[in-house]
A and B are shown apart, each in its own frame.
Chain A
Amino acid sequence: MSENFKVIDNYLMVRMPEEIDHHKSSYISENADKFIVREQISNVVFDFEDTKFMDSSGIGIILGRYKKIACFGGKVFAIHTDNRIRHLFMISGLHKIVEIMD
């Protein structure tokens, strides 16, 4: 499953699963953290191309990673977000800390 995590320079690319919920979230968070520490990652890019469902667990994943890298000047990006995911970011205020790229 580590093909969902790829390091390019000091960016960690995380390919998010089809369904993001509490059941899936610890796997994503734990693996992302391993890369962040081991490869001294400063920025994380979450790719939502495959994602068809997300609940607040997805917000928790992004917020948790942001807290880990923000103090070192790192940034969090989101790509391939659909209207639904952008709406979830808006409600939770996450759009203020995540850069949404198209």
Chain B
Amino acid sequence: MKNEMKMEFDAISANEAFARVAVAAFVSELDPTLEEISDIKTAVSEAVTNAVIHGYDGLEGGKVNIRCSIDQDVLHVEVMDKGKGIDDIEKAMEPLFTTKPELNRSGMGFPFMEAFMDDLEVLSVPGEGTTVIMKKKIGCIPWIGDEE
């Protein structure tokens, strides 16, 4: 099975819920479990929140692009912004590291993406933007059940 969708929306916090629900709806044809849906929604929410508050520094006018594809039983999600980019990706991905503690950020965005998806890749050029690429295999657990 192959399927693809792309969307673009304003980088404002109100769209964080829209983005995670849209990706969750797209993946529904793979018949994910409730836990898998929660995992995907959390990871997408983290990536889009990063674009809004870090990529564009909370300023309006920026756009976030999401490209999703399904290849067999694997979901690929790319979240792109054309914001300020990340100077030190390794540092940014460390648990509890945040550049915005005054906004009550926990520094757990990337660690949550890593915990809930099977693969996470972060590409960023300072001044040009950031792309987060995540993959998740859907439906591993029921398959083991079927075998028995």
Contacts and interface: CB of A to CB of B under 8 A. Distances in A.
Contacts of A84: 35, 38
Which of A22, A59, A64, A88 counts the most B-chain CB atoms under 10 A from its CB?
A22
**Residue with the highest number of chain A CB atoms closer than 10 Å, among B45, B53, B111:** B45
Interface residues of A, number: 22
Given A59-B106, A63-B106, A22 B112 contact: no
B13 A56 contact: no
Interface residues of B, number: 26
Given A22-B52, A57-B49, A84-B38, A63 B16 contact: no
Q: In terms of DSSP, what is the predominant structure of the interface of chain A? A: helix
Tell me the dominant secondary structure on chain B's binding face: helix
Nearest to B41: A53
B41 A22 contact: no
B115 A23 contact: no
6 contacts: A23-B17, A53-B41, A59-B108, A60-B103, A60-B108, A91-B112
Given A55-B49, A56-B108, A57-B104, 16 more contacts: A19-B17, A22-B45, A22-B52, A23-B13, A23-B16, A53-B38, A53-B42, A56-B49, A56-B107, A59-B106, A60-B104, A64-B104, A84-B38, A91-B108, A91-B112, A91-B115
